[in-house]
Amino acid sequence: MPVTVKTFQALSEAASALSSDRATRYLGGGTLVMRDLNEGDVSVATVIRATDRALQGIDAAGARIRIGAGVTFSRVLAERDLSFLHPAARSIGGPAVRNMGTVGGNLFAPAPFGDFTVALLALDGMVSMQGGFGLRDMPLEEFLQSRDRQAGALVVAVSCLRPASADAFRYRKIARIKPKGGSVITLAAHLPQSGGRVTGARIALGSMAPTAVRAKGAERALEGRPLDAGAISAAAAAAAEGTAPTDNSLASAWYRREVVGVHLRRLLSGQES
5 near another protein, judged by CB under 8 A: yes
Distance CA 48, CA 155 (A): 13
Pairing of strands 134-139, 126-131: antiparallel
Contacts to another protein from residues 61-90, by CB under 8 A: 74
Map residues 182-201 to x or -, x wherever contact with another protein holds by CB under 8 A.
--------------------
CB of 109 to another protein, least distance (A): 11
7 near another protein, judged by CB under 8 A: yes
CB of 78 to another protein, least distance (A): 11
Sequence-distant (6+) residues with CB within 8 A of 226 are 196, 197, 198
**CB-nearer residue toward another protein: 80 or 149:** 80
**Collapsing DSSP states into helix, strand and coil, what is residue 160?**
strand
CB of 4 to another protein, least distance (A): 5
27 near another protein, judged by CB under 8 A: yes
9 near another protein, judged by CB under 8 A: no
- Contact call for residues 53 and 59 (beta carbons, < 8 A): no
Distance CA 196, CA 204 (A): 22
Helical residues (DSSP H) of 33-155, grouped into ranges? 33-38, 73-78, 86-90, 95-100, 103-106, 115-122, 140-145
Contacts to another protein from residues 142-181, by CB under 8 A: 179-180
- Contact call for residues 206 and 215 (beta carbons, < 8 A): no
Contacts to another protein from residues 90-149, by CB under 8 A: 93-97, 99-100
Sequence-distant (6+) residues with CB within 8 A of 115 are 88, 91, 92, 106, 173, 183, 186, 206
**CB-nearer residue toward another protein: 27 or 55:** 27
CB of 74 to another protein, least distance (A): 7
C-beta atoms surrounding 265 within 10 Å: 17
Sequence-distant (6+) residues with CB within 8 A of 179 are none
47 near another protein, judged by CB under 8 A: yes
272 near another protein, judged by CB under 8 A: no
23 near another protein, judged by CB under 8 A: no
CB of 66 to another protein, least distance (A): 24
Instruction: List contacts with another protein (CB under 8 A).
Output: 1-5, 7, 27, 29-31, 34-35, 37-39, 44, 47, 49, 74, 93-97, 99-100, 179-180
